[in-house]
Amino acid sequence: MNALFPTIVDSRSLVRGNGQEMTAPRNTDAGCRLAVLLLPEFSQLSLSSFIDPLRLANSISGRPFFEWVLFSPDGRPVTCASGIVISVSRDFTGVVRELGSGRGPDMVIICAGDSVQKQASALLFSLLRTCRRQQVPISALGTATWLLAESGILDDTRCTIHWDKLAALSATFGRLHVTDSLFVRDRGLVTCAGEFASFDLAMELITNYLGNHTASAVCRHTTATQWRSGSDRQWAIGAQYTGASKKVAEAIRLMEQHIEDPLPLWDIAKCVGLSQRQIERLFRRYVSCSPMRHYLRVRLEEAKRLIEQTNMPLLEIALSCGFVSSSHFTKRFRECFGMAPSALRARRL
């Protein structure tokens, strides 16, 4: 018997197949074994938001249905982004051996942080490919989607990542179908925006395995009023204005969706059912600037993320953010951030 993952009924139907809705195993006595891979500087919030609901589900159901074991690349304690040191049971080679023996976990969870672009390794990629061969579902929390993309297993697959790296992921890996959903299931892969979205993913896991009653009890215990669907959008710039003015929020959402091909003001106003004068008044009231000034800021913020997170040429970044020339882009960027795009790139390097 596997000491880390005691033999239980297979429950991988959760995310196998064509990426349709998760389904609970037919045998209600089955459990779910998780191998959680922690990378240095991972998000403790993502990890806790995912694991704690499962712990509560075990307590409420009166049995250890969900089991998890923590792993690090070298088997040593790993420090999260908050500076908290987490002990683990084994290193990544332990997971590879378990998978090779056919007695591995029912799902592999990867939890990473902001420095994810530097954490790819041959061992991790070997582990991920072994999971694919063994048809073991993989879930990536937060920025860990980047590692799945870098390994090649996300090609031609729908996926998501934390909103701060959405633009960089799309620009770096052209064969992905990136969305800004909270979490996405496709072809045995689950990608999640991380942070509090990890809670929503865990709640769906609990619902599909242990039922809505247990999930509702977990929600009450955590003082959460509800959990969100995976198809819900992540936080966006326009979301903060929804309570004050839905029209402003709608307009900003359009701006966010049209970075490369900026819309004229009259087109934005028409789409949200306002005149140009009305939308200008609303922006002056709630955003304290004109609509097009705000639109420019949205595009420049996107460009800044691409400069900081990718190696795209600056001209290519300028064009992808709707600027017709490098000189115009540089001028506007310097006005906004106090330095030229080239200076920001040099500082990062």
Range of the domain at 339: 237-348
- Pinpoint the alpha helices (H) of 143-290: 145-151, 166-172, 197-210, 212-221, 246-257, 265-271, 276-286
pLDDT digits (tens, 9 = 90+) for 318-344: 999 999 999 999 999 999 999 999 999
Residue 37 has pLDDT above 90, yes or no: yes
- Least confident stretch, 160-164, 236-240, 303-307: 236-240
3 state SS of 91: strand
- Is residue 147's pLDDT more than 90? yes
- Tell me, what's the pLDDT at 232? 84
pLDDT digits (tens, 9 = 90+) for 200-222: 999 999 999 999 999 999 999 99
Which is it for the CA torsion 317, 319, 323, 329, positive or negative? positive
The rounded distance, in Å, linking the Cα atoms of 293 and 290 is 5
Rounded CA separation 324/331 (Å): 12
Give the DSSP per-residue string, 278-346.
HHHHHHHHHTSS-HHHHHHHHHHHHHHHHHHH----HHHHHHHTT-S-HHHHHHHHHHHHSS-HHHHHH
Instruction: Report d(CA 47, CA 151) in Å as an integer.
Output: 22
241 and 216 together in one domain: no
Tell whether 182 and 78 lie within a shared domain. yes
Quote the CA–CA distance of 138 and 152 in Å, as a whole number. Answer: 14
pLDDT digits (tens, 9 = 90+) for 244-296: 578 998 899 899 889 999 999 999 999 999 999 999 999 999 888 999 999 99
- Rounded-to-integer distance, Cα 46 and Cα 118, Å: 19
Could you tell me the pLDDT band of residue 240, with boundaries at 50, 70 and 90?
Answer: low
For the cut 90, the answer to whether the pLDDT of residue 17 exceeds it is no
Residue 152 has pLDDT above 80, yes or no: yes
Return d(Cα 240, Cα 223) in angstroms, integer: 23
Q: Residue 243 pLDDT more than 70?
A: no
pLDDT score for 9: 35
Same domain membership, residue 252 and residue 195:
no
Q: Is residue 155 part of a domain?
A: yes
For residue 2, pLDDT beyond 50:
no
Residues 175 and 214 in one domain: yes
Q: What is the CATH number of the domain that holds 206?
A: 3.40.50.880
Assigned domain for 228 exists = no
User: Which of residues 161, 186, 221 is at a domain's end?
Assistant: 221
Provide the mean pLDDT of the chain: 87
Domain count, the chain: 2
Give pLDDT tens digits for 217-236: 999 999 988 888 898 878 65
Please report, in angstroms and rounded to a whole number, the separation of the first and last CA atoms in the chain.
Answer: 49
- pLDDT higher than 70, residue 44: yes
Residues in the chain: 349
